A = this chain, B = another copy of it.
Amino acid sequence: MTLSFTLLGEDGAARAGMMHTAHGDVPTPTFMAVGTAGTVKAMTADAVRATGANIVLGNTYHLMLRPTPERVARLGGLHKMMDWPGPILTDSGGFQIMSLAKLRKMDETGVTFRSHLDGSAHHLSPERSMEIQHLLDATITMVLDECTKFPATHEEAAISMRLSTRWARRSRAAFIPRLGYGQFGIVQGSVYEDLRAESAAALAALDFEGYAVGGLAVGEGQAMMNAVLDYTTPMLPKHKPRYLMGVGTPDDLLGAVARGVDMFDCVMPTRAGRTARGFTSAGVFNLRNARFIDDGTALDPACCCLCCTRHTRAYLHHLFRAEEMLGPMLLTIHNLTYYQSLMQGARAAILAGDYAAYCDRTRAGWESRA
């Protein structure tokens, strides 16, 4: 049997579940740390595990250019290469070709582009994207799609979504089902309910192991994102995992979980950790700020991570001022731990039928800082 999902509890539209994969179970809702080039930046795999992470994400675009999927396969796959035997989801490569690559050109066959590293020419079709993700040994393979730009007219969004639908069909045909592995379709349609419905129905007919909502967090703002989720998640099969791609802030996560999303990924906690921004139960802190220079308290006294149990805000401030690598290392550990604990708390609250109160308490905490 391919990857499966058990819905364990609901609280309003919010869901708690368990995803069963070839590389282990994943309690949901869950946040996937981003391991772009075969490493979660500034983290050993042991440190990632210690944050409570159950699944990580790898980027097909980066890995296809370097070290190349064939090389990763020769090294035993991405799990072995990066010392992460747990589940790994890989994206299709399409999103980052459009944001990073040079001279990119899209047509019905796929995307032609030049590498941002050395200018070499490449072509990514739905079939090649599936092959790459197979070579990487991805637990969860994403279909190749076009992330519709924002804003887009109804006509633009329809044309883009229908191309993604055709690519999803080809991606599904090229996917090789294996025990505990799965493939997710990606719903597009921009901010148009009728297009989201058309996309969701077409993908549901392909019977994917899970469904992602794409084309959000691209500039539309949190209110519009939530409005789209309000009508889109009910269009998705209830007993399959739902993944909101590239989202987001802690508050975004709470709002999307409330609307029935099970999985997230975002560079925010890792990138913020490298730039001195810490997410805590009392809001966001910039550790470079001079007010922390003599602050002998833990970054987040409510957090059980290595950073918070062993060090002070003053030490973190010192490390960032001195440009020591340990600053990004410790703050990434903390931020990922914070995201994981946020999702663990959400799951427990959903199972207890207490999710709305959990969100209220958590948001009140973030505001307490002021």
Bound together, the chains give a CA A41 to CA B39 distance in angstroms of 19
Neighbouring B residues of A310 by C-beta, 8 Å: 45, 83
Establish whether residues B75 and A37, one from each chain, have CB atoms under 8 Å apart when the complex forms. Answer: no
Bound together, the chains give a CA A297 to CA B72 distance in angstroms of 14
Q: Report if A233 contacts B (CB, 8 A).
A: no
**Contact of A37 with B296 at beta-carbon distance under 8 Å, contacts A83-B311, A311-B83, A318-B66 already known:** no
- How many copies of this chain does the complex contain? 2
Establish whether residues A326 and B83, one from each chain, have CB atoms under 8 Å apart when the complex forms. Answer: no
Establish whether residues B324 and A39, one from each chain, have CB atoms under 8 Å apart when the complex forms. Answer: yes
Establish whether residues A44 and B75, one from each chain, have CB atoms under 8 Å apart when the complex forms. Answer: no
Establish whether residues B315 and A66, one from each chain, have CB atoms under 8 Å apart when the complex forms. Answer: no
Bound together, the chains give a CA A319 to CA B81 distance in angstroms of 11
Q: Report if A354 contacts B (CB, 8 A).
A: no
Bound together, the chains give a CA A310 to CA B45 distance in angstroms of 10
**Contact of A75 with B296 at beta-carbon distance under 8 Å, contacts A310-B45, A314-B67, A315-B82 already known:** yes
Closest 7 CB pairs of A and B: A83-B310, A39-B326, A67-B318, A42-B325, A37-B322, A39-B324, A81-B315
Q: Report if A298 contacts B (CB, 8 A).
A: no
Establish whether residues A312 and B41, one from each chain, have CB atoms under 8 Å apart when the complex forms. Answer: no
CB-contact partner of A44 in B37, B314, B330, under 8 A: B330
Bound together, the chains give a CA A296 to CA B81 distance in angstroms of 9
Establish whether residues A74 and B296, one from each chain, have CB atoms under 8 Å apart when the complex forms. Answer: yes
Establish whether residues B314 and A71, one from each chain, have CB atoms under 8 Å apart when the complex forms. Answer: yes
Establish whether residues B75 and A306, one from each chain, have CB atoms under 8 Å apart when the complex forms. Answer: no
Chain A 103-159 interface residues, beta-carbon cutoff 8 Å to B = none
Establish whether residues B294 and A71, one from each chain, have CB atoms under 8 Å apart when the complex forms. Answer: yes
Q: A62's closest neighbor in chain B, by CB? A: B322
Neighbouring B residues of A250 by C-beta, 8 Å: none
Establish whether residues A318 and B45, one from each chain, have CB atoms under 8 Å apart when the complex forms. Answer: no
Establish whether residues B39 and A75, one from each chain, have CB atoms under 8 Å apart when the complex forms. Answer: no
Q: A315's closest neighbor in chain B, by CB? A: B81
**Per-residue contact bits, chain A 304-344, to B (CB 8 Å; 1 contact, 0 not):** 00100011101100110110111011100000000000000
For A, the interface residue count at a CB cutoff of 8 angstroms equals 39
Establish whether residues B325 and A328, one from each chain, have CB atoms under 8 Å apart when the complex forms. Answer: yes
Listed in ascending order, the chain A residues whose CB lies under 8 Å from chain B are: 37-39, 41-47, 62, 66-67, 71, 74-76, 81-83, 293-294, 296, 306, 310-312, 314-315, 318-319, 321-322, 324-326, 328-330
**Contact of A312 with B74 at beta-carbon distance under 8 Å, contacts A37-B322, A46-B306, A325-B329 already known:** no
Neighbouring B residues of A296 by C-beta, 8 Å: 74-76
Distance between A81 CB and nearest chain B CB, rounded to angstroms: 5
Bound together, the chains give a CA A71 to CA B76 distance in angstroms of 49
CB-contact partner of A315 in B42, B75, B318, B319, under 8 A: B75
Neighbouring B residues of A83 by C-beta, 8 Å: 310-311
Neighbouring B residues of A81 by C-beta, 8 Å: 311-312, 314-315, 318
Establish whether residues A38 and B306, one from each chain, have CB atoms under 8 Å apart when the complex forms. Answer: no
Distance between A56 CB and nearest chain B CB, rounded to angstroms: 13
**Contact of A38 with B318 at beta-carbon distance under 8 Å, contacts A294-B71, A312-B75 already known:** yes
Bound together, the chains give a CA A67 to CA B319 distance in angstroms of 9
Distance between A103 CB and nearest chain B CB, rounded to angstroms: 22
Neighbouring B residues of A82 by C-beta, 8 Å: 315
Distance between A314 CB and nearest chain B CB, rounded to angstroms: 6
Distance between A311 CB and nearest chain B CB, rounded to angstroms: 6
